[in-house]
Structure 1
Amino acid sequence: MQLTPADAQMYWLSERMPNDQFLLFCFATDADVDAVRETVGSRVRRMGELLCHVRDVPGHLDYPYWAPRRFGEDLVVGHQLSDSSWTGLQSELGVLVATSLDARESPWRLHVFPGVRDAPGCDDAALVVVWQVSHAFADGRRATELARALFGTGEPPASVRPPPVPSTPVMLARAFAGFPGRVARTFTAGRRAADAARALDAATAAGEIPPPAPGRPLTGLDTDPGTERSVRMVVCPAALFRSGGHTITTVALTAVSVAVSRFLAARGEDVPDLLGAEVTIAVGAVGPAHNNYRNAGVELFVTEPDLRIRATRIAADLAERRARVTHPLPAQRDAATEHVPAPALRFGIVRYPATVLPVTVTGNTVVSSVDRGPADLALAGGPVMFSAGFPGLSPAMALTHGVYGLGETVTIGVAAGTRVVPDLDVYEQMLRAAVEEVGAALALGD
């Protein structure tokens, strides 16, 4: 089974910039690493789709294959913290999120941090696990589904491992035999894509589809983050995000609008009137691809002083962005990529000038929002308390936010490049205060 072009693109892109996902779960238990490895191993052996790794085609002449592998101790890694406090854990996580998996060994690894003190909502020592997942293997929605199966209390859904990959001569024979057909399909799909692009422009001009979001002027946060990372988590009761009839994503965006604008001002920077956030939006699945989402720029309306009105305007802009990216025409316009021969797609990724700062950006920060479902998960006998995550940074993005709802908690995970944001504690406090302020303001309208 080969990677789809969309998933191979994420795999090859990881060579240029780390894009792994980090799903954090906190459990109320004093279980050790051995207990976790035993529990996870027994479940993974039923979830065959997790027992795989990437096998490259020589010369990258075709798309890589998913090959089977066995469960091994390398998939569950224990970490002994020198400082077992919550602060110590967050420091260690900053080191972890700067790493990248080699999907040729496995597209995932579970990191285990036992005996964490002072974890939010935990009276005793807690067990924190971080599931590191290659983006080639899963987007946020699929990763959440797999994590829920991995840490569920019932029998995990059974699945099979990928079949054995062909021999190298067969791989190469398939690559050469399939190349002419892929080229022909690319040209045919390219013509359809051009037609879809013209139709999209016409529908936009007619007001049938919202226009694309404008580019945002760069701030001091929109630059190379460097190689070192720091992370923080703001764990909140979900009730704070359920005010004013808005979604959790809208309330989080409103809080981010307050915190980022104040943070920039405190650094002595001008706050652009068009300050915006790059938001991930799920789209319909395209065949067997594991990545089914688009990024869109959402305005944060920082010049609007009334937070209730600001939230309403953010919600409306988010709805327009979702209406555009989920419309069939953009998908038809982009469908030609599914037929591009592997060498051509990889060449474009390798040659893309990722280190050159753009003139404008889609958003000045990232906000990725994922519903992790009800709090009915458990690990090694301990119930789950909350979940978090840390969206990756990029060459023009030094501060990101992940919003994760689990049961009656919502956690905002913040990741930053320490070269650009050396004072992440300051920003964490600003964000925490902004969540309280926005929640209180929106509650007045209930």
Structure 2
Amino acid sequence: MSTVEYRDAIFAYVETSCSPQTLMSAYAFEASGRPASDLVRWIADRAASLAPLRQRMVRPFGDIGLPIWSDDPQFTPDRHIRVHTAEDWAELCVLLPTIHAEPFDWAKPLWEVHLIQGVRGVDGRDDPSDVAVVKMHHSVADGMGATEIARALFSSDIAAECTPTGSTSRFATMAKAVAMLPVTLGRLPVDLLRFVRAQKQVRAEEAEGLWKSPPPQLPRTSINRKLGPDRVVDTVFSSVTELRSAAHRMGDVTVNDLVLTVIGGALATYLGDIEGPIVASVPVSTRDVLDAGTRNRFTTAYVDLHAGIEDPVARADAVHRAVRTDRDRKLSPANVRAEVSAPRLPGFVVRTAVRVFEALPKTSSTITGAHVLVTNVPMGPADGWQLCGSPVFANFGMSTLVDPGGVAHRISSIGDRLAVSVTADPSQMRDLPAYLELIRRGCAELVAHTE
């Protein structure tokens, strides 16, 4: 047993029905021809050895204190694996939002694997494939952590059996939270003072010209309205080799810079004329600067996509500089201290604040933060990824939308296939196929422009 770190627990507190804090990544394997029971057994055997998948989150009543990671005394990995049917890519894209929206059973560990066999049309392939959708709560892992768990699930080797850490009940967790309540409330002034001092250092760094803060207000667009309940998702696939070659010909840019460049151009075309920049929130790993026990180790940069620059090469260079500038800002000593010094408000306070914000009308002409979310989850080489001996050939997924963002992008790559998966609220992005075509065309034009 262990206490859930506050940075992990926060994902349980901010969750709403419209914004389930769910990570969902799908892996496409060449069809094995094996019965579904064999695939279930393959995954279950490996899940049984992974400690994060055996632990459930036990929350005190009312979230008056931090929850506990507790071994599930009735853990049976097969109970977390479900089998579905989808004949082709179109049916799979309809199924994914249904899987994503289904809430977790908080009495069990917060993960699931959904198997769909015989799906045709994944990445344009005529041959059928077996798709495994790995779904877990954001409290369990961040994107990199979820990838490591998936790598273990889809490996030929089974990890050594993990050591049990013990289990507890909700009543015991509640008793501990009540006993700790004076400490929890008493440390708030200390947290606040530490945060104020950290913010003073942040302002000092900015005054020295070490970096510049992003604009506090951005124009609200048609994809920044109040979230509705429905979701749509689809994916554009590209060649990593082609994009990497294009990046190499441009000079000091990355494949991720190129995809951000394409997204900026696609958004500019789709949205039409807007006054001001188009900004993306981009998670940045803090693993190299923070030695923390938390499972979620990332911060968020805000990147100007420079959508007003028509020349794609010039735009890519500007995006590259924007990524580096705001990444350096968020990883500066003062900003890192401010990040870890944020006051640890009790869960019930956070939940109340989130619901108040959710109820507020989204009618002002401006927003704070960013217009869209863009995450990047590189899986690395495809070697070693398999399901019952069948190799992986593609990865894609689905993202959680958070007010006021009605569109999110998930960039992932495995082997030579790069996927840009777009999740959208259909009441805000009414023509997802047209937007995907803009991304597809942008990738092709960027590669051709550099040849």
CA, structure 1 residues 159+204, in 2 after alignment: closer, same or farther (shift >3 Å)?
A: farther
Q: TM-score, normalised by structure 2?
A: 0.90
CA contact (8 A) 2:123 2:237 kept: yes
CA, structure 1 residues 167+418, in 2 after alignment: closer, same or farther (shift >3 Å)?
A: closer
Q: Does 1:98 align with 2:101?
A: yes
Range with greater deviation from structure 2 (6-15 or 317-326): 6-15
CA contact (8 A) 1:19 1:100 kept: no
CA, structure 1 residues 301+157, in 2 after alignment: closer, same or farther (shift >3 Å)?
A: farther
* Alignment deviations for residues 92-138 of structure 1 (CA, whole Å, 9 cap, x no partner): 22333333323432311001110001222645210011111101111
- Alpha-carbon separation, structure 2, partners of 1:249 and 1:39: 33
Deviation at 1:440? 2.2
CA, structure 1 residues 432+32, in 2 after alignment: closer, same or farther (shift >3 Å)?
A: farther
Equivalent residue in structure 1 for 2:307, among 302, 306, 309 = 302
What is the identity, as a one-letter code, of the residue corresponding to 2:135? Answer: Q
Partner of 1:131: 134
CA, structure 1 residues 352+116, in 2 after alignment: closer, same or farther (shift >3 Å)?
A: same
Q: Does 1:360 align with 2:367?
A: yes
Identify unmatched segments of 5+ residues in structure 2.
none
* Alignment deviations for residues 181-238 of structure 1 (CA, whole Å, 9 cap, x no partner): 2333332232222111111101101112333344321110111241111111111110
Partner of 2:185: 183
Q: Does 1:399 align with 2:400?
A: no
Aligned length: 436
1:14-413 residue pairs with structure 2 within 5 A? 14-16=15-17, 17-29=19-31, 30-69=33-72, 70-81=75-86, 84-120=87-123, 122-156=125-159, 158-165=161-168, 168=171, 170-242=172-244, 243=246, 244-245=250-251, 246-265=253-272, 270-284=273-287, 285=290, 287-337=292-342, 339-353=344-358, 355-357=360-362, 359-376=366-383, 377-413=385-421
- Alpha-carbon separation, structure 2, partners of 1:197 and 1:319: 22
- Alpha-carbon separation, structure 1, partners of 2:229 and 2:355: 20
- Alpha-carbon separation, structure 2, partners of 1:184 and 1:193: 15
Could you say what secondary structure the match of 1:42 adopts?
A: helix
Percent identity over the alignment?
23
- Alpha-carbon separation, structure 2, partners of 1:319 and 1:157: 40
CA contact (8 A) 1:213 1:296 kept: no
Deviation at 1:74? 2.6
CA contact (8 A) 1:44 1:71 kept: no
Range with greater deviation from structure 2 (12-21 or 96-105): 96-105
* Alignment deviations for residues 24-73 of structure 1 (CA, whole Å, 9 cap, x no partner): 10000233421211001111111132112222212322212222221243
Identify unmatched segments of 5+ residues in structure 1.
none
1:394-433 residue pairs with structure 2 within 5 A? 394-433=402-441
CA, structure 1 residues 225+193, in 2 after alignment: closer, same or farther (shift >3 Å)?
A: closer
Could you say what secondary structure the match of 2:212 adopts?
A: coil
Range with greater deviation from structure 2 (124-133 or 90-99): 90-99
Q: TM-score, normalised by structure 1?
A: 0.91
Question: RMSD in angstroms over aligned alpha carbons?
Answer: 2.2
- Alpha-carbon separation, structure 2, partners of 1:214 and 1:338: 21
- Alpha-carbon separation, structure 2, partners of 1:434 and 1:158: 47
- Alpha-carbon separation, structure 1, partners of 2:401 and 2:265: 21
Deviation at 1:387? 0.7
Could you say what secondary structure the match of 2:307 adopts?
A: coil
What is the identity, as a one-letter code, of the residue corresponding to 1:425? Answer: P
